[in-house]
Amino acid sequence: MQDTIRIWLSALVFLAGLAGFYYFGQQPMVARVGVILVGVGLALAIGWTSAQGTQFRGFVQESIDETKKVAWPSRKESMQTTAVVFAFVVVMALFLWIVDKLLEWGLYDIILRWTSK
């Protein structure tokens, strides 16, 4: 029950921040954006203490731990892979250009023969 109340309170605080943005329409934009940021910050702080927030914190921590385990490529490996991809793109572009021109010439020849009869 407490978690449900926290989630609803979090949503209300968030909506209050949005409403404050429009309520203070005559104020400078910096103040209006500040009202939204305060509302979002308070809503996140309230939601963070709920059961769902606790689960989300655990998920974020596990994600960070898994990211640290990743074997990231070195700069040299990244540059080599980028070069291979770039070369492949150039080769495919040339191939598709050649196929396009062959089809263009072939269809142009067929159309000329068909229209000249």
**pLDDT tens track for 58-103:** 999 999 999 999 998 999 999 999 999 999 999 999 999 999 999 9
* pLDDT at position 38: 92
* pLDDT at position 39: 92
Looking at the chain, the whole-number percentage of residues with pLDDT higher than 90 is 56
Backbone dihedral region for residue 14 (phi beyond 0: left; psi -120 to 50: alpha; all else: beta): alpha
Unique residue bearing structure tokens 């939601």: 47
Unique residue bearing structure tokens 């540059």: 79
Could you tell me the pLDDT band of residue 117, with boundaries at 50, 70 and 90?
A: low
